[in-house]
Amino acid sequence: MRKLIVANYKMNGNKKLFADIVKKINKYKVKDTKIVLCPPFVYLDEFKIKSNSVFLGCQDITNIDNSKSTGQISPNMLHEFSVKYVIVGHSERRSLGENDELINEKVHVCINNDLMPIICVGEKKKSDKLDAVLTQIQSALKGIEKSYVPIIAYEPVWAIGTGKLPTVSRINKVADMIRSYISDLGYKNSVVLYGGSVSAQNYDEIINANIDGLLLGGVSLKFDEFIEIVKGIDHV
């Protein structure tokens, strides 16, 4: 399976930075990976992608079909920019009050409108039981057809932006647990990503874990480091 690398730019960047990133990514010949770039919504139009292996994603989406929803982003808006993926349930959104029910609604909106949700899950503290991760997955997939292939991004909250990483054995344990649980729910396949303090200095160890790719945050803004990670994985 081709590794999936997702860049979450969060609330960062400007037109100049993203124009430079697009120029550089269009020069890189992707071999064995799929890349998803998720800029802030207002910069989606800056991403004129030329590669068939590089896709656009969005950092959020509406959970309802109502044109009177001020500030919401609809599937039709995303389709106009050729968006294919949407990050759903990121811990930074959960910290603002998003609950499991709302996240499930967003997953349904994505799938009903031919968008691929990247569902973020993870425990808050290193000492927390991993049952919370399974609960988040179960809630997110409630009512979703079994033919769907879930993309799950395991992002332990305690690792995001802290420089702290789970051990490879812990990542393997969680990835295997996620796959087994999703299989028990009736889905034949799944894609499991890891995210949280990944850098050009540690990605090679992490990518050797039993995962299908990475969800990158801060390092995405440093193009030289980002492309170093891509190149390293692209030749695996």
Phi and psi at 117, nearest 5°, equal: -75, 135
Q: How far is CA 125 from the centre of its chain?
A: 20
Question: Which helix (H) or strand (E) is 117 found in, with range?
Answer: strand 116-121
Question: Choosing from 46, 80, 90, 225, which is the catalytic residue?
Answer: 90
- Is 235 annotated in the active site? no
Question: Which helix (H) or strand (E) is 38 found in, with range?
Answer: strand 33-38
For the record, the structure tokens of 76 come out as 């039709």
* Cβ atoms 220, 12 nearer than 8 A: no
Beta bridge partners of 83: 56
What does the alpha-carbon distance between residue 148 and residue 159 come to, in Å, rounded to a whole number? 29
Strand, helix or coil for residue 215: strand
What does the alpha-carbon distance between residue 205 and residue 203 come to, in Å, rounded to a whole number? 5
- Is 79 annotated in the active site? no
For the record, the structure tokens of 7 come out as 């860049």
Question: Choosing from 98, 155, 205, 225, which is the catalytic residue?
Answer: 155
Catalytic machinery residues: 90, 155
